[in-house]
Chains A and B, each alone.
Chain A
């Protein structure tokens, strides 16, 4: 009961917050809403009127299409996986995803994605940005583009990456302010958000002490130093505001019922998916939740089975919960990784990298429900596959209705109501579209 938050005295928190933000003596520069005013404005903004948001369920390492969304059981390339019926008549997915199978009528599957990148880092860049890596420019991840298209008065970041490993979403030429804010397991405290000294001490530090230094530094230097150049003080003010924001509750999955938490699974990824829903509900524009460890060069079936056992309930529950909260139409969901895995199984029982026909799940927004796009050959000519090392693979002989990564991005952006053909002059003076692909009309609602 010593904690004013626990005692329900929200006003105490806000009074304190305003008091010591006021002591900074710094011009904030941008107007911000009080939580009460913001709640009022949010109430007026019905969920259906909001700009669309993006949920990226990112499977880092290269999930096998054959052990997830595109199984070919009983064939030379099928491995140990079996098929399972889904809620779309006549369509099977791997038996490793039974809960997702029941949700298939609400989503689109793409089984014919192709890319030209077979290295993890480059392929991740390609899938997250829609562009192949270029030496002179860094393209923004799709979540950064979504945030760039909206203005919100959130006190928490609008682009969040949960459980990122090596390559979280970056904003590239849009600038670091559109980078994803990274957090770990939602069961743990948000990194660096808790003050490390008493509130009084922080008031002293961030108030008169910091204020005196800032005042001195400004003297005689370029006019309006903070707004015209550094934005350092503005960022400090925003960081302090976030530290005491009520909107941080969106990260707290303990506020959900135990039963719902259990539906998502007792693991970091499940908690990440549940937190993502809460964050999107609070107005965050893009959340990326990562499940890594799909790189199964050895013991493919075992590794893929372990990962799908985590993915299955969390993904299925995410799709259910988005609909239950009436967020499905306003949220575009992507679930996939940087490439798939080879149809052939290597001597170590593994599958290697395969960008010539792999799968992803798309849902929500303007995307079509209960549709499977493209297919891969169940009995491909294995002599074709052996030429992988010689870069001679022709994906069109192995899969149908091919969807390139740029086309995938164009489709996602279109489903998010973003004109992907619009051009932005990049910092190097080169005008660039948001995507140079073309949206796949079959994947969109008519």
Chain B
């Protein structure tokens, strides 16, 4: 009996081992197949030019350009000339997918007639899934922040994926926001619910935090920084909810009545139902009144467009996204502008006065946005087509801060950390790093990016505030693993080595290296100097020399700054 049992156990073990081996081989073959899969050529997006051809688009664009030109009167109408198309395309690539362009993309771009290149490239990018993923991450920071949130209750990746899906599918931005504010259910099943559960923690006793949600709602959706009203009335004269004729300064009650919309959002005792509305009233102690007050929900401005249909959160969602609520469209225009230019039209990005003391171009873009079903892609096209976006950051007159402030020149802004690391990866490859890249490549980039960002630092929720380089960041780019790996002699993985091996002419090799890393061609002086460095070198020495040039480009100001 014992022998039989042992034999049976032995054959079971053998079977298990064989199964594991087969599974491992299958995974390896799948990965190898995915890696070796031929990369499809860049395809022209369908109807690439349709969005910009309509009459109303051109009208909005003309108005925006006229208003931008009027702003430049502050500097006597001194305007920088138009930038080179490759440079504008680099700005678009950084803004919309978070990295510089690949050589493959530049070649495709240069096949398009010159006057259509930027529109074509905008269309190519906003129809690429990379755009949806990248913008989702950026907007997510405003919606739910960068904190890890409560364990199990908050699933940030699910939320970001849901948001990216909505952007990819072209869902109206207003609809996306309505979903977040009013959704009910489980945060795993309905990822938009994570907007609510992001404010819950161990001590919140199963209830959403109305105060944090009110702050998020006012900043992210309305560009109103009213958080200080949580504790006291506005005594700095910074918050005005009325207009010139009827000034209504911010009061503590304004904040808490807004918070009251969220008071009933909670997890019921019955499991697996997720967030529901249980009708709980909102209680708070106000400085102006003794004892606890029960506050009914109300909005701080534009009260006439608030209606009482649906749950409290549905009422709030309808009010926030109402076409007559100008603050809503302005807030997303300002954030999108900031993503494309590196700085917002009105600073800080989430604080826009309710009155007319803002650049008129903000309202032109906001009106177009709200009149076209809050179509984020159309807004991006519109901004990308403006003269301001296409101006150079250099000019033949002396550029001052005033020129940048009125958009007479393209502003020089520091790349955000994720743009730096994305550009390092892209610079070291000849083809675009996108969904058709091999799974192994994407996995490696994912891991390396996390490790890089941990050391480089992350800007957190507010991405448009900081322009500062630290010694630690410089050391990381000069001596860190990432740049060392991307610039070493490696014929398989690194563009520098491949160019060195495949392009015998030094001038051509230098031009390709510049295109890959800086997305431009070298100047005459640069070409002379770098060709001189490369010539007469053979084999690994040539690869290494081009690696040196790559290192210098990645460590230059130009690489780390949008311009």
Contact = CB atoms under 8 A, between A and B. Distances in A.
Contact of A220 (B145, B396, B560): B396
Interface in A197-220: 197, 201, 204-206, 208-210, 212-214, 216-217, 219-220
A428 B201 contact: no
A134 interface: yes
B561 A216 contact: no
Interface stretch (A93-101, A235-243, A285-293, A404-412): A235-243
B387 to A, nearest CB: 19
A210 B555 contact: yes
A419 to B, nearest CB: 23
Interface in A156-184: 157, 175-177, 179, 181-182
Given A136-B219, A391-B205, A212 B147 contact: no
B412 A177 contact: no
B460 A231 contact: no
A196 B471 contact: no
B470 A177 contact: yes
Interface in B506-536: 523, 525-526, 529-530, 533
Nearest to A223: B398
A388 B394 contact: no
A135 interface: yes
The residue among B203, B350, B476, B558 with the most chain A CB atoms within 10 A of its own CB is B203
A390 B479 contact: no
A214 B202 contact: no
B16 interface: no
B216 A135 contact: yes
B467 interface: yes
Interface in B25-83: none
A119 B219 contact: no
A159 to B, nearest CB: 10
Contacts of B466: 175-176
A173 to B, nearest CB: 8
Most buried by B among A212, A242, A353, A430: A212
Interface stretch (B84-92, B102-110, B316-324, B546-554): B546-554
Nearest to A235: B469
Contacts of A15: none
B225 interface: yes
Contact of A193 (B216, B461, B475, B553): B475
B85 to A, nearest CB: 18
B479 A193 contact: yes
A197 B479 CA distance: 9
A293 B558 CA distance: 42
Given A138-B460, A221-B393, A389 B203 contact: yes
B404 interface: yes
Quick one: which of A213, A230, A388, A390 has the most chain B CB within 10 A? A213
Interface string B203-215: 1010000001001
Given A223-B399, A232-B561, A390-B205, A177 B555 contact: no
Q: Counting chain A CB atoms within 10 Å of each CB, which of B350, B529, B553 scores highest?
A: B529
Interface string A25-56: 00000000000000000000000000000000
B203 A233 contact: no
Contact of B219 (A135, A391, A427): A135
Contact of A201 (B201, B523, B548): B548
Given A118-B203, A223-B400, A216 B555 contact: no
B533 A181 contact: no
A222 B401 contact: yes
Contact of A217 (B396, B484, B549, B556): B556
A191 interface: yes
B548 A388 contact: no
Interface residues of A, number: 63
A213 B484 contact: no
Contacts of B474: 232, 235-236, 238-239
A427 B468 CA distance: 14
Given A205-B548, A209-B533, A353-B202, A196 B399 contact: no
A122 B148 CA distance: 10
A239 B228 CA distance: 40
Nearest to B518: A213
Contact of A238 (B394, B395, B471, B551): B471
A200 to B, nearest CB: 11
A354 to B, nearest CB: 11
B279 interface: no
Given A216-B523, A230-B412, A430-B236, A205 B469 contact: no
B552 A213 contact: yes
Contacts of B216: 135
Given A213-B526, A242-B471, A192 B202 contact: no
A75 B556 CA distance: 64
Given A119-B201, A179-B457, A212 B479 contact: no
Given A121-B148, A225-B557, A220 B457 contact: no
B325 interface: no
A176 B361 CA distance: 33
A231 B396 CA distance: 23
A281 interface: no
B372 interface: no
A2 interface: no
Contacts of A201: 544, 548
A348 to B, nearest CB: 15
Contacts of B145: 135
Interface string A233-258: 10110111011000000000000000
B202 A209 contact: no
B348 interface: yes
Contacts of A206: 478, 552, 555
Contact of A135 (B215, B412, B551): B215
A194 to B, nearest CB: 6
A349 B470 CA distance: 45
B549 A209 contact: yes
B202 A119 contact: yes
7 contacts: A135-B461, A195-B479, A196-B479, A201-B544, A221-B394, A242-B475, A428-B348
Interface of A: 118-119, 121-122, 134-136, 138, 157, 175-177, 179, 181-182, 191-197, 201, 204-206, 208-210, 212-214, 216-217, 219-223, 225-226, 228-233, 235-236, 238-240, 242-243, 353, 388-391, 427-430
Given A135-B145, A223-B399, 16 more contacts: A119-B150, A122-B201, A181-B472, A191-B475, A192-B480, A204-B533, A204-B548, A206-B552, A210-B552, A212-B525, A214-B556, A214-B557, A230-B557, A235-B469, A239-B474, A427-B465
